């Protein structure tokens, strides 16, 4: 039998020499242009990084393409960012332009850097969607491709943003990938209760486990003891899909009901304002493949209003905090349906208990 | 007719790199991906997923690392009838040499679909689409070449670190070293799900938190420092000479008014007020740096919405030195896991358990003294307990 | 029979006793909770893992939650 529990390879074996030498001894960095950074070590050594865009869902040949570039210009080393951007690392400044040229030849844009005024948009964090997930209320790779085709200029720096802007997408409200603290998050949402398959329930699921999985106690044993299944209380179900996770006989997918919600104003970084959650500003937009025009237009519009109105250096959530949510809805001209008012746990924390507000 | 995929084809167009192009590249070698493209077209037509899940775990001796996936209509799409995911644990910081990457690619082309995610949300390399029969052979070959699976199910998910000292001047501790050590130490917890639900550990070297530790890890380590910012006045002058508006962009935006421009010099006039938010450092990386007495703040509890809503981690240990062999940190984590494992209900994350049992009970159980850094404010209600 | 083998046997007996139509998959906690009066928690956990290697138990995972069952109930 092959060995188990070997763990991942030791990262130290994967580092380029310039990093091994200057590990933990970096002094400062500069962004030379969108997608190109220079890090300078205490020793005076320089490290150039070229950051590219990636579709995340890639073939092995894509990885081999990246390897070819790294072999040619980076002594066979590369890394990926926490947002899936491949990064090419080299101590040689003269390699930067050739790397960019090779990447562009492969169809890969270079950009996605910066956190202050003039920042670029980086890769979109996203989940699997219809390409591989059983619980997806929307696609992931498809919408992201449609979004990034329209937001491309923000990635390559032809258009810039007042500050770092993180766009993320999750194909259901499980929100794999911490997208609940993004400047703009697109989230796949079900709007119909599970469509129970009683036959399958009998064969594949265990009623106590299914009932226990429901956070709002909407699921109980079927009143007819001859039917070994469950019923769902429509008034309590919030379409979270927790039951479907433990039982394949409770699918929530519904072609008419499924769609996406848009959340804005969250962030993870502690810079300036503390981390904050993204908030729902559009509760539902339809799934309209392959290009999801309603979603793309809404996100693009929010980007534009933010770019036009925020002060330099303000994250989206910081801008909204300063001007107020009421001004956000005025400026974006988005409607304010009742679904935007919280009625889950801790809802009261979101209500306004002051006479201070702005007229819109 | 059936083989036409016009909606999927549409997404080959446009400036952003196309995943459809990638699917078609893999489809030249793998029949499963030919079916996968058709499945994607079908989901576009029907506006619904075409997948179902199942209980398979797959690799002998492991309870995690493989996610079972089956297509809803295997008779129509036989080549993706079983199309499981394998999670392969990444080297800390996602650093690779091309030899390692080519090895993974070759193994995956031999045994699987040739489609991957570099990387998945948690940080693993995702090998997307493996038949049931090929799971074990894929693992065997990966393992022979020094790779191992990542976490899934009720286990410790693959811990992740930001680039840290590998390339960042702001790294307040060795995120890569710590995470590699933790990953190796807790292989048992990573591969054989022992817990009520998933649990995550993430380490970011500074408060910018590039791996989103504060948003998604039950145990979050975020770099910080106890002394003062280091300011290089010559570099400050360089920024000023380049017409960078230090007053408006940096001084006026300091959240605690700790930093001021005094006669052309940038000074931390109220060091006791600095909350180490990184804003001034982010905007003037050549002139301002974190202090030298560095370590980490440990925060706990972050999670995504399932079940009681999303939670951000909250402060548990304001400052800890992070040095090998990391004994104190590991002991703390083990104590927390013990309490959670003992008291947690199934599918209840740490934060939800803390909410149910109360933060004071949690602190008592893990033997951590309360301190004001843990809260935004003390309680406003009079309902506290004695005894 | 060694202690390890004895505990594994207990674990399997637990599953045989508790598995019935409509409820065959259990969380590790369920088993640990019932047997922890007699045995150490870690020992029970280890025995359950060992059973999966022997093939007398099987892991069953939703992807996010992991359970155990007898092979015939997989």
The whole-number pLDDT of residue B342 equals: 92
Chain C residues lying within 8 Å of B341, measured CB to CB: 29
**Model-level pTM greater than 0.80?**
yes
What CA–CA distances, in Å, run from A338 to A181, A341, A360, B328?
Answer: 22, 6, 18, 49
Q: CA angle, B310 as apex, B307 and B315 as ends, to 5°?
A: 120
Q: Which two tokens stand for residue B346?
A: 């199934």
**Selected residue of B89, B112, B113, B121 to mutate for chain A interface (largest A Cβ count, 10 A):** B121
- Considering the domain boundaries, does residue B387 fall inside one? no
Whether the ω angle into residue B307 lies within 30 degrees of 0, i.e. cis, is: yes
Q: Are A304 and A296 in contact (CB under 8 A)?
A: no
B7 contacts A107? CB cut-off 8 A:
no
User: Quick one: B54 and B80 in the same domain?
Assistant: yes
Chain B residues lying within 8 Å of C63, measured CB to CB: 53, 67-68, 152-153
User: Quick one: B92 and B113 in the same domain?
Assistant: yes
Q: Which two tokens stand for residue B77?
A: 């799409």
User: Quick one: B40 and B189 in the same domain?
Assistant: no
Q: Are B256 and B270 in contact (CB under 8 A)?
A: yes
The whole-number pLDDT of residue B18 equals: 98
C53 contacts B152? CB cut-off 8 A:
no
Question: Which sign, positive or negative, has the C-alpha torsion A262, A263, A267, A273?
Answer: positive
Q: How many residues does chain A have?
A: 360
- Residue B36, C-beta contacts closer than 8 angstroms, at least 6 positions apart: A131, B23, B27, B80, B83, B113, B115, B129
- Considering the domain boundaries, does residue B301 fall inside one? yes
Rounded to whole angstroms, the Cα distance separating C35 from C46 reads: 13
Give the orientation angle of helix A60-73 with respect to helix B98-111, to 10 degrees. 160
pLDDT tens readout for residues A134-156: 999 999 999 999 999 999 999 99
Q: Which two tokens stand for residue A116?
A: 């202050």
- Residue B368, C-beta contacts closer than 8 angstroms, at least 6 positions apart: B316, B317, B332
Rounded to whole angstroms, the Cα distance separating B67 from B71 reads: 13
A246 contacts C65? CB cut-off 8 A:
yes
What is residue B18's DSSP assignment? Answer: P
Rounded to whole angstroms, the Cα distance separating A320 from B105 reads: 45
The whole-number pLDDT of residue C1 equals: 61
Q: How many residues does chain B have?
A: 387
Q: Which of B88, B97, B190 is nearest to B141 (CA)?
A: B88
List the pLDDT tens digit at each of the 387 positions of chain B.
468 999 999 999 999 999 999 999 999 999 999 999 999 999 999 999 999 987 887 788 899 999 999 999 999 999 999 999 999 999 999 999 999 999 999 999 999 999 999 999 999 999 999 999 999 999 999 999 999 999 999 999 999 999 999 999 999 999 999 999 999 999 999 999 999 999 999 999 999 999 999 999 999 999 999 999 999 999 999 999 999 999 999 999 999 999 999 999 999 999 999 999 999 999 999 999 999 999 999 999 999 998 889 999 999 999 999 999 999 999 999 999 999 999 999 889 999 999 999 999 999 999 999 999 999 999 999 999 887
Among residues B90, B112, B144, the one where a domain terminates is B144
Identify which of A47, A253, A269 has the shortest CB distance to residue B208. Answer: A269
Count residue pairs from A and B with Cβ separation < 8 A: 360
The whole-number pLDDT of residue B293 equals: 98
Identify which of B61, B66, B197 has the shortest CB distance to residue C65. Answer: B197
User: How many Å separate Cα B303 from the centre of its chain?
Assistant: 11
- Residue A94, C-beta contacts closer than 8 angstroms, at least 6 positions apart: none
Compute and round to an integer the Cα radius of gyration of chain C. 12
The CATH number given to whatever domain includes residue B309 is 3.30.413.10
User: Quick one: B190 and B91 in the same domain?
Assistant: no
Q: Is residue C23 over pLDDT 90?
A: no
Q: Are B28 and A165 in contact (CB under 8 A)?
A: no
C53 contacts B153? CB cut-off 8 A:
no
User: Quick one: B15 and B105 in the same domain?
Assistant: yes
Residue B385 C-alpha, separation from nearest chain A C-alpha, in angstroms: 22
Whether the ω angle into residue B86 lies within 30 degrees of 0, i.e. cis, is: no
Model confidence at A205, pLDDT cuts 50, 70, 90, reads confident
- Considering the domain boundaries, does residue B269 fall inside one? yes
Q: Is residue C2 over pLDDT 80?
A: no
Q: Contact partners of B by the rule of 3+ C-beta pairs under 8 A?
A: A, C
User: Quick one: B186 and B248 in the same domain?
Assistant: no
How many structural domains does chain B have? 3
Q: Are B322 and B271 in contact (CB under 8 A)?
A: no
Q: Where are the alpha helices (DSSP H) in chain B?
A: 6-10, 19-27, 31-46, 98-111, 132-144, 175-185, 187-191, 213-216, 233-241, 246, 279-283, 327-343, 350-357, 359-366
User: Quick one: B309 and B355 in the same domain?
Assistant: yes
Chain A residues lying within 8 Å of B149, measured CB to CB: none
Q: Label residue A309 exposed, middle or buried (CB < 10 Å: 0-12, 13-18, 19+).
A: middle
User: Quick one: B214 and B308 in the same domain?
Assistant: yes
Q: Which of A241, C29, A262 is nearest to B306 (CA)?
A: A241
Neighbouring-strand partners of residue B220: B202, B299
The whole-number pLDDT of residue B107 equals: 98
Q: Quickly count: other Cβ atoms within 10 Å of residue A338's Cβ.
A: 7
User: Quick one: B78 and B166 in the same domain?
Assistant: no
Among residues B85, B115, B144, the one where a domain terminates is B144
For chain A, the residues whose C-beta falls within 8 A of a C-beta of chain C are 174, 202, 206-209, 228, 245-246
Residue B92 C-alpha, separation from nearest chain C C-alpha, in angstroms: 23
The whole-number pLDDT of residue A1 equals: 63
User: Quick one: B207 and B353 in the same domain?
Assistant: yes
User: How many Å separate Cα B258 from the centre of its chain?
Assistant: 32
Among residues B91, B116, B144, the one where a domain terminates is B144
Q: Which two tokens stand for residue B116?
A: 């991957």
- In chain C, which among 1-20 make CB contacts under 8 A with chain A? none
The whole-number pLDDT of residue B1 equals: 42
Q: Quickly count: other Cβ atoms within 10 Å of residue B348's Cβ.
A: 17
Q: Is residue C52 over pLDDT 80?
A: yes
- Considering the domain boundaries, does residue B284 fall inside one? yes
Rounded to whole angstroms, the Cα distance separating A7 from B90 reads: 9
Q: Which of B100, B89, B223 is nearest to B164 (CA)?
A: B223
Helix (H) / strand (E) containing A281: strand A279-286
- Considering the domain boundaries, does residue B211 fall inside one? yes
Q: Nearest residue on chain B to C41, judged by CA atoms?
A: B342
φ, ψ dihedrals at B383, nearest 5°: -95, 65
Domain that holds residue B263: 230-289
The whole-number pLDDT of residue B221 equals: 98
* C2 touches B at CB < 8 Å: no
Q: Which two tokens stand for residue A218?
A: 């909407």
Neighbouring-strand partners of residue B300: B219, B314
**Selected residue of B192, B197, B216, B303 to mutate for chain C interface (largest C Cβ count, 10 A):** B192
The CATH number given to whatever domain includes residue B241 is 3.30.70.20
- Considering the domain boundaries, does residue B150 fall inside one? no
- Considering the domain boundaries, does residue B149 fall inside one? no
Query: Which domains does chain C possess?
Result: 3-73 (1.10.10.10)
Unique residue bearing structure tokens 């729902």: A280
User: Quick one: B41 and B137 in the same domain?
Assistant: yes
User: Quick one: B172 and B305 in the same domain?
Assistant: yes
Q: Quickly count: other Cβ atoms within 10 Å of residue B386's Cβ.
A: 3
Q: Is residue A289 over pLDDT 80?
A: yes
- Residue A46, C-beta contacts closer than 8 angstroms, at least 6 positions apart: A38, A39, A40, A91, A93
* C63 touches A at CB < 8 Å: yes
- Considering the domain boundaries, does residue B154 fall inside one? no
Q: Which two tokens stand for residue C50?
A: 């060992």
Helix (H) / strand (E) containing A126: strand A125-126
Q: Which of A295, A356, A298 is nearest to A325 (CA)?
A: A356
Question: Which sign, positive or negative, has the C-alpha torsion A115, A116, A120, A121?
Answer: positive
pLDDT tens readout for residues A57-99: 999 999 999 999 999 999 999 999 999 999 999 999 999 999 9
Chain B residues lying within 8 Å of C26, measured CB to CB: none
* B284 touches A at CB < 8 Å: no
Q: CA angle, B38 as apex, B37 and B40 as ends, to 5°?
A: 65
B63 contacts C49? CB cut-off 8 A:
yes
Whether the ω angle into residue A290 lies within 30 degrees of 0, i.e. cis, is: yes
């Amino acid at each position: 039998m092959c060995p188990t529990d070997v763990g991942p390879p030791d990262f130290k074996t994967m580092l380029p020499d310039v990093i091994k030498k200057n590990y933990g001894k970096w002094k400062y960095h500069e962004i030379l242009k969108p997608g190109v950074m220079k890090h300078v070590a205490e020793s005076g050594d320089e490290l150039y990084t070229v950051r590219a865009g990636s579709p995340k869902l890639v073939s092995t040949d894509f990885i081999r393409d990246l390897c070819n570039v790294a072999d040619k210009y980076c002594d066979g080393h590369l890394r990926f960012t926490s947002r899936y951007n491949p990064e090419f690392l080299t101590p040689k400044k003269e390699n930067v332009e050739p790397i960019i040229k090779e990447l562009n030849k492969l169809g890969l844009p270079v950009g996605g850097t910066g956190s202050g005024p003039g920042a670029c948009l980086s890769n979109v964090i996203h989940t699997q969607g219809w390409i591989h997930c059983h619980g997806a209320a929307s696609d992931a790779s498809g919408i992201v491709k449609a979004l990034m085709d329209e937001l491309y200029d923000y990635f390559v720096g032809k258009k810039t943003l007042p500050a770092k802007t993180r766009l993320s997408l999750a194909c259901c409200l499980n929100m794999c990938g911490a997208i609940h603290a993004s400047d703009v998050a697109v989230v796949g949402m079900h709007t119909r209760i599970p469509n129970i398959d009683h036959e399958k329930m009998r064969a594949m699921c265990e009623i106590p486990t299914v009932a226990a999985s429901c956070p709002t106690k909407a699921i109980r044993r079927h009143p007819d003891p001859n039917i070994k299944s469950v019923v769902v209380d429509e008034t309590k179900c919030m379409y979270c899909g927790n039951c479907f996770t433990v039982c394949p006989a409770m699918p929530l997918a519904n072609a008419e009901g499924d769609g996406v919600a848009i959340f804005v104003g969250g962030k993870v970084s502690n810079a300036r304002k503390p981390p904050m959650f993204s908030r729902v500003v559009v509760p539902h937009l339809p799934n309209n493949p392959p290009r999801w025009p309603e979603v793309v237009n809404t996100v693009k519009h929010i980007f534009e209003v933010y770019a036009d109105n925020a002060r330099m250096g303000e994250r989206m959530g910081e801008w909204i905090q300063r001007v107020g949510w009421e001004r956000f809805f005025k400026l974006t001209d988005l409607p304010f349906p009742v679904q935007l008012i919280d009625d889950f746990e801790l809802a009261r924390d979101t209500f306004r208990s002051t006479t201070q507000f702005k007229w819109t | 007719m059936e083989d036409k995929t016009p909606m999927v084809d549409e997404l080959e167009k446009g400036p952003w790199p196309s995943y459809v192009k990638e699917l078609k590249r893999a489809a030249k070698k793998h029949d499963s991906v030919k079916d996968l493209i058709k499945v994607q077209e079908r989901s576009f037509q029907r506006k619904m997923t075409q997948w179902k899940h199942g209980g398979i775990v797959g690799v002998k001796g492991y309870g995690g690392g493989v996610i079972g996936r089956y297509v809803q209509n295997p008779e129509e799409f036989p080549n993706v009838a079983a199309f499981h995911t394998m999670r392969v644990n990444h080297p800390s910081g996602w650093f690779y040499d091309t030899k390692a990457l080519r090895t993974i690619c070759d193994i995956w082309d031999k045994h699987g679909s040739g489609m991957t995610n570099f990387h998945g949300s948690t940080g693993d390399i995702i090998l997307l689409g493996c038949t049931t029969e090929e799971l074990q052979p894929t693992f065997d070959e990966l393992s022979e070449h020094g790779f191992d699976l990542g976490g899934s199910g009720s286990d410790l998910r693959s811990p992740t670190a930001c680039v840290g000292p590998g390339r960042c001047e702001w790294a307040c501790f060795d995120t890569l070293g710590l995470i590699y050590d933790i990953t190796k130490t807790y292989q048992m917890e990573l591969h054989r799900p022992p817990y009520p639900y998933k649990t995550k550990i993430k380490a970011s070297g500074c408060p910018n938190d590039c791996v989103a530790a504060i948003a998604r890890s039950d145990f979050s380590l975020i770099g910080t420092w106890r002394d003062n910012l280091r300011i290089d006045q010559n570099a400050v002058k360089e920024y000023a000479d380049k017409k960078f508006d230090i007053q408006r962009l940096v001084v006026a935006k300091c959240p605690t008014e700790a930093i001021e421009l005094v006669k052309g010099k940038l000074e931390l006039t109220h060091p006791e007020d600095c909350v180490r938010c990184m804003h001034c450092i982010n905007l003037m990386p050549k002139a301002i740096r974190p202090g030298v007495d560095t370590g980490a703040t440990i925060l706990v509890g972050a999670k995504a919405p399932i079940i009681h809503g999303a939670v951000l981690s909250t402060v548990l240990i304001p400052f800890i030195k992070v040095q090998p062999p990391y004994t104190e940190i590991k002991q703390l984590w083990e104590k927390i896991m013990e309490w959670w494992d003992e008291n947690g209900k199934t599918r209840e994350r740490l934060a939800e358990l803390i909410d149910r049992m109360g933060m004071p009970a949690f602190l008592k159980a893990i033997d951590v003294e309360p301190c004001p850094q843990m809260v935004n404010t003390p309680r406003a209600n009079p309902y506290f307990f004695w005894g | 029979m060694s202690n390890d083998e004895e505990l594994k046997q207990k674990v399997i007996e637990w599953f045989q006793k508790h598995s019935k139509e409509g409820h065959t998959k259990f969380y590790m906690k369920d088993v640990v909770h019932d047997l922890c009066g007699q045995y150490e928690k870690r020992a029970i956990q280890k025995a359950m893992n060992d059973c999966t290697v022997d093939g007398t138990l099987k892991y069953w995972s939703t992807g996010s939650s992991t359970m155990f069952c007898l092979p015939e109930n997989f």
